[in-house]
Structures are given as C-alpha cells and as structure tokens.
Structure 1
C-alpha cells in the first residue's frame, strides 16, 4: 500500500519549548490514522506542519510526495481538506451561499453541495443563515466545506470536540463513507472511543513524543492482562489470574449471588494510554 504521509524525526520548537521531540510515523493511502493524546501533547502542532501552516524545526515531512518546502504550492493545497480550529463560515450567509462560494474556488459542481449536505442530514437547512444554526450543525457544514472538492487527504483536528452524541455519530458515518471512496484521513483526538471506532492505525502522542502505535485492536491486545475482573454488589472488586491454580475461585465466583459483573481484561484505548503514560486523557 502506498504511503500518503511520512514523518521522520519531526521536531518543532517555540523559543525554548519543544512541542515535538523527534516524532516519526507513516500513514497509508486510504486509511484513517489517529494521532491521539491529551490537550497540549502536540497534536495540533503536527497538523499545522502537515498542512503548511507551520514550518518544522527539524526532521523530514512528506505528504502525497510533496516535501514541506512545497506545501505552499497550489496543487498541494488543492489536494487537501482541512477541518481545524481555524476553519470558519460566513455567519450572515446561508448554508448554500457558504458552500457555493467554496465549491467555486475548486471548480466543483453545484450537485456536490446537495450531496454532502444530504450525507450529514442537513439538506433541509440549505437556505438557513449560518448564524441561526447550532454548534453541531456548523461543525457538520465545516466538514462539508472540507470535502466538497473530494480531497486526496483530509486533516481533521478534534472534529467532534464538545458535540452531542447524535451529531458525533452523524460525522462518524460521513467519515467512514469518505474513507470508502479512497480518501486518506488523519485526525487528532483525545476521544479514544472515537479512535477505536474509526481508525485503522493510531499513535499515542504525549509531551511531544510518540509512546506507542499500531491498530486499536493490536494495542489493546498487547496491554491486556490474563485476569478476570470481578465486581460485587457492595462495590468491591477483585482481580483473579486466569490459571488452573485459581480454577476453584473462578468457578465459585460464577455462581456467587453477590457477583454483579465478571469480565476478562481487554482494556479500552483510554486505559491503554493511561497504562503507558500514567496520565488521564483531559
């Protein structure tokens, strides 16, 4: 599979502060890659370098065959879709006018506006002014704006931050559709459930360093322990190793009326992150 994004020993310094400390990763074309970590870990800085908004201090960066020196070229810019904290809409214009302005910049047909709005369930709001929309609706319009020209790579910086579950689900569905068409997607998030659902590969970023990477399932498997977690109705918990020596204890727990839950250890991505960094995701 071809490489869409290649990052080698990337560093970014702001005066005496090192935001990125030599990170390396690759993203295959057509996959969803998640850069995961808490606020301040360096996720947004990485996105801004890959989209040409910031210059790297050191290291090598390549996207779709373009090195960072060529990130300002129009051909490169046209190949990207970007949803970040800098993305905005014209509040006084309607949804239709906003998207029409943007699709004209890329020579996209008007029918594409109708298509993307339908995919996020907002086709009935096409003539509403943006200022009258909810935050969740605006976020979906921004995503429509980012994909109108069918970019080869889509960069998403915290695409569902602070959104309600229904809106989040709608955006997830659209992203999976976009991926199915062959678009490479790189997203940053501290939402590990989102990453588990969407991403083919993830990398844990903490304090400017990538701690571990791999598929969500592979990471969860590699950090599991061979134990059964038992919860009792008084709230107490017990962990029993799964081996023949503990067979009697495990069988007794299965038939104990005071046991309300038994589960093997298969940690969530959030639990894995906490194991490898010692930090909560905030």
Structure 2
C-alpha cells in the first residue's frame, strides 16, 4: 500500500496539506480539481521532486525517505504531465532507460509497447513523434519498468478519442494485474468512469474523498470547481456537466 500521512508542503504561494490518503494494489485512484489546486504537486511530492515539510510517505509500510532510489524505482513509476524532450534518443533507448532497475527482457519491452500501440516506433527518434505518440511511449516505458504503483499526470492529454479508449483499457488491465494506479485528471467524467476511488482537491486541500459515488456528488463538484453542476444519464452511465452547458446537453439528449 502507498500511503500519504499528514503530508504538508508549500509550492509557490500555495500551502498544500495536510494530505492523507492510501492507494491499494489493484486500485485506480484519481485526483481531480481546478488548476492550481495541488494535484500535480501531490504527485511531485510522491516522486520526491518536492520535499514535504511535515508528514510521511510510506510504501508497503516503509518510509519513503529511508529507501534508496533503486528501491523506489522498483515500487513506483511516474509519467509527468509535461513530457521530456531527450535529445538524440530513440524510442528503444527510452524504454531501456526506464527499465534500468530490472533485467533486460526484449519480449517484455516489446509487449509493453504493443500494449500501448507504439511497437512500430521502436527505432524512431523520440523527438519526431507527435504529442500523443510521445505520451503513449512514456506510458509503455513505465509499464516496462514494472513498478507496483504507477502515477500518471493527465495521461489523456494530446490523445485522440481512439487512444483515450485504448488508455482506459490499459489502465483497467493494469488494475486487474494488481497494479495500484494514481491518476491526475481534469476530465471528471473520465475519472468517474474508470476510477475505484476519487479525491477532489481545492486550494491545496482535500475537500472530498472516497469511492467514486461518495466523492463525486453535485454538492462536492460545486465546492471543488466553484460552478453549478447537474447530471444526466447516458448510455455509458451518469455524466456531470456545468449548468452553463445545460442547453448543449438538452440538444444532445434530443438527437
């Protein structure tokens, strides 16, 4: 289990915390909220890019700050929101670099790429790929890394609809394999569709957390986003929307 225990820190002018939550194996947990609410900062603290001023992060009962970098890389993998631009590296290089903590296995490497639909890019220069292609390569690289817990910041960014559908399948497959998945998403409906648990953040604080049905209510959404919300039932399930889009939703319902 990955645990944040009373984590507090400051990033810029934003005081974040205390943050308390846990991610279990075989669970998809998503953090949602407005820009500047502390979502990405929380992932950066988990990835040791921000040092908490108080509290503790623990992995399987062991304090993160007492673990060596090699051990942490076996436990956690992270795909950041802003994708890196490594110079002079092809996709194979990036895959192998991500797998530095494990024994090289071309079969696993290829399967990880095939899972994300990027196996044909293996000898491509990474810098020549589109934003969506880079995103899927980085997701495949963290899958090849094979950590117990995977953190993805806005993984649907730059992705076309077919690739978002593929991403949903990948996340559900990883969950079924026992991976703990921690996401940051702007799309509350995507989060509601794929998550077991959801956290809503605002101004550096958790204002709602729990199962998706407990955390995502009209009242909680309005508090998190400072907007009036409503919902409707679609063939795929419940959908939430700001009331300013009410007429658009009515038009959709009349199609």
For residue 161 of structure 1, give the secondary structure of its aligned residue in structure 2: coil
1:121 corresponds, among 117, 122, 129, to 117
Q: Is the 8 A contact 2:91 2:137 kept in 1?
A: yes
Task: Specify the alignment match of 2:76 in structure 1.
Answer: 80
Alignment of 1:146-165 (within 5 A): 146-165=142-161
5+ residue gaps, structure 2, are 221-229, 244-255
Q: Is the 8 A contact 1:94 1:127 kept in 2?
A: yes
**In structure 1, C-alpha distance between the alignment counterparts of 2:91 and 2:69, rounded to whole Å:** 29
TM-fit CA distance, 1:137:
0.7
Matched, 1:44 2:40: yes
Which stretch of the first structure deviates more once superposed, 207-216 or 89-98? 89-98
Q: Report the count of equivalent residues.
A: 231
TM-score normalised to the size of structure 2?
A: 0.79
Q: Is the 8 A contact 1:216 1:269 kept in 2?
A: no
Matched, 1:217 2:175: no
Task: Specify the alignment match of 2:164 in structure 1.
Answer: 168
Q: Is the 8 A contact 1:49 1:56 kept in 2?
A: yes
TM-fit CA distance, 1:84:
0.7
Name the CA shift for 1:56/1:197 in 2 (closer, same or farther; >3 Å).
Answer: same
TM-fit CA distance, 1:73:
3.9
RMSD: 2.9
Matched, 1:59 2:55: yes
Matched, 1:181 2:177: yes
**In structure 2, C-alpha distance between the alignment counterparts of 1:29 and 1:270, rounded to whole Å:** 31
Task: Specify the alignment match of 2:252 in structure 1.
Answer: none
1:176-231 per-position Cα deviation (integer Å, ceiling 9, x unaligned): 1111111101111111122112210001011011111122233456859xxxxxxx
Which stretch of the first structure deviates more once superposed, 182-191 or 160-169? 160-169
1:79-112 per-position Cα deviation (integer Å, ceiling 9, x unaligned): 2111013653545333223323433553231111
Q: Which has the higher contact order (CA 8 A, sep 6+)?
A: 2
For residue 127 of structure 1, give the secondary structure of its aligned residue in structure 2: coil
1:3-31 per-position Cα deviation (integer Å, ceiling 9, x unaligned): x122232211247x343131222222220
Q: Is the 8 A contact 2:6 2:20 kept in 1?
A: yes
Name the CA shift for 1:33/1:269 in 2 (closer, same or farther; >3 Å).
Answer: farther
Name the CA shift for 1:70/1:217 in 2 (closer, same or farther; >3 Å).
Answer: same
TM-score normalised to the size of structure 1?
A: 0.72
Name the CA shift for 1:80/1:93 in 2 (closer, same or farther; >3 Å).
Answer: same
1:13 corresponds, among 10, 13, 25, to 10
Name the CA shift for 1:101/1:12 in 2 (closer, same or farther; >3 Å).
Answer: closer
**In structure 2, C-alpha distance between the alignment counterparts of 1:197 and 1:111, rounded to whole Å:** 32
Task: Specify the alignment match of 1:248 in structure 2.
Answer: none
1:120-154 per-position Cα deviation (integer Å, ceiling 9, x unaligned): 11222222222221111110000111121211010
5+ residue gaps, structure 1, are 225-238, 240-261, 273-282
Q: Which has the larger radius of gyration?
A: 1
